[in-house]
Amino acid sequence: MREFLFLLFIVSLVSGRPQKDPRGPNIIDETADFGTPEHDNRVHTELTQLTGPEIARLIGSDYFNGSVLPCDNETAPGQWMVYCSGRLLQAVMAVKLYPDSKTFVDQPMKVNQTGESIMEHFEKRFPKPIEQISKKEVAEFVDEFFDKEGNELDVCELPDWKPITEKLAQIKDDTYLAFAQRLHFIWIQLCRQMKPEVKEDPFRFSLIYVPYQFILPGGRFREFYYWDAYWIVKGLIASELYSTARMMILNFAHIIETYGFIPNGGRVYYLRRSQPPFFAPMVYEYYLATQDTQLVMDMIPVIEKEYIFWSQRRSVNITLETQEFNETVRMFQYHTEADTPRPESFREDVLSAEPFTTKSKKRAFFKDIGSAAESGWDFSSRWFKDHKNLTTIETTNIVPVDLNAFLCYNMNIMQFFYQLAGNPLKHMEWSSRLSNFRQDFTKVFYVPVRKGWYDYNLRTGSHNTDFFPSNAAPLFAQCYDPLNSQLAVDVYNQMENSGAFSMSGGIPTSMHKETNQQWDYPNGWSPLNHMIIEGLRKSLNPTLQQKAFVLAQKWLETNMQTFNVSNAMWEKYNVQEPQGKLATGGEYEVQAGFGWTNGAALDLIMTYSDRLEYKGPLLEGLVGTPPPRKSFSSSSSSSSSSTSESSSTITPSSTTGSSSKLLAIITVTIFYFLF
């Protein structure tokens, strides 16, 4: 009866409780003011001396002739002149028509309009210089020719969603059960599908068509995103939403077949850059959960096609000098071809590039900016020469340890898939490729004196040995010999010595404290926390497995405590704060939703479902008055967390009744659909 009432309470709470103001004093740093120089993009503080007309003239300069555009007549023949270049785009950015530059390039053209006709109207109406066009004139023109952003998508129903699942019912701790149940409901809010007109009249939209419904991140991110989707898929699997996860994979397969790679996100202005390659890992995780070998067989050629993109368009030769001989190896790097301002951040990029006096330097800056966005880390001191200022960015000089670890993981998955497919020749081909790449990977990235893997700089011929969570990517991707457990211990010790594990709210993105960039201290992100936790959990060392559990508890409590006061999951968090506060920095306000945060949390809860026990202060916003505690025994070992420390594992006594939980599940399901 207790469990029945508790689950009824959760259902009613989720369906009826409004989201609190995210700027409440409980979770926002009281000194933060979104939109001010201190807590927004650095360009606001660097360029305060420029007047409005000066900014307009700067934005109206020629950035397009002779440049590689984010999309063009080949990749987006009906849209490029509106969403990736042109005077209309410049005028909208010059007058700052919207607080968020992304708003305009997400707006569809009105019915019966084309990109060519809109640009003809604009040139005829505004033959004068950009700086002479008023904000009122631009607003009227946009209202006349464009629809509101976001309306090209419909909210959708998840075909496989149930109010509670058998997996969720296995969570032993009441607080974590309540939290997981709330996260499970968020998938309903984030489900979207394309309206028919996106397929029927694609040239009106910056949105890239996909045939199946999908889970979006949330907030300003009104389309699918590539590497976000890996953690979303992990969360969908935790929620037993296997059909939805499969549709996400099929959408990405459609994109690869169409474009040869997966772009950063589902907009035409992303068609010159990708994101960390997690398509193969998505397929692998889905296979582990479903044993769907047919999907694996269907996806093998698609994964190979994406791998060719990275091999041919994102690789670089590195010459390694030794006392005996020089050796050249080929590694991967983030390196977009586009060298113009990003359309979704056009104003910000132009203002950031103002200190550069030549067109070639500006183009190099824009390429490095776009390449950093391809990494997913936009932006971080990791890419800066001086580790402080955006103007010193040199992404294209850096060979990143994480990207190469991810592609190492792709190779491992492919050799496994070919073995599964019964193709010994291709299995041996990919096994050999993996073995050779692991050796080269170690030669390029491993620094013996610092006992870890680090980004390699082509310009300096040296490594950046500062702490970044990316240093642990080889543990996550297992791009090393797992029998060498001491190597994993050394990497953990290096991270611990940096102070990265001393934060009360989780693992920060770096220890660089003065950049005001969102991928730096004190911000913590779900994919990076999850990646380190998983890397340690996968090791064969019991001590590191326990460290993973401790870090998982810390990150989950930050998520829960912030959810308790805001009723939302967030893109990133300030991990310096003991109770969890929202992060700041970057080009936009912190976003609620949030797909990958939701997915990472659900996956960690399910991984440690028989060990997690919340002992913190009462989270009234999450569960209200808690039900009576179950009785516990310490006799069971933790199978889900893959650790060997059964003596420290606590699990509820089985005598409290799987049958009563099953009855509660059935009753809640009936209640949900009736009321």
Instruction: Cite the active site residues.
Output: 378, 571
For residue 535, which of 405, 340, 652, 358 has the smallest C-alpha distance?
405
CB atoms within 10 A of CB 634: 11
| Omega prior to 263 cis, within 30 of 0 | no
Q: Which DSSP category does 607 fall into?
A: H
Apex 101 CA angle, 597 and 469, nearest 5: 35
One-letter amino acid at 272 equals: R
Please state, in angstroms and rounded to a whole number, the distance separating the CA atoms of residues 406 and 480.
12
In the numeric block, the tokens 């950063």 are attached to 264
What residues pair up with 572 in beta bridges, in sequence order?
525
| 206-243: burial string, b at 16+ Cβ within 10 Å, e else | bbbbbebbbbbbbbbbbbbbbbbbbbbbbbbbbbbbeb
Q: Which DSSP category does 662 fall into?
A: H
Question: Strands 452-453 and 446-447: what pairing?
Answer: antiparallel
Please state, in angstroms and rounded to a whole number, the distance separating the CA atoms of residues 163 and 179.
13
Q: Which DSSP category does 617 fall into?
A: S
DSSP states along 222-252: -S-BTTHHHHHHHHHHHTT-HHHHHHHHHHH
For residue 466, which of 387, 566, 354 has the smallest C-alpha distance?
387
Cβ burial of 57 (10 Å; 0-12, 13-18, 19+) is: middle
Question: What is the Cβ-side half-sphere exposure of residue 56, based on CA atoms within 13 angstroms?
Answer: 18
If residue 523 lies in a helix (H) or strand (E), which one and from where to where?
A: strand 523-525
Please state, in angstroms and rounded to a whole number, the distance separating the CA atoms of residues 670 and 665.
9
For residue 235, which of 179, 193, 275 has the smallest C-alpha distance?
179
Three-state SS across 212-229? Answer: CCEECCECCECCCECCHH
Question: What is the Cβ-side half-sphere exposure of residue 362, based on CA atoms within 13 angstroms?
Answer: 22
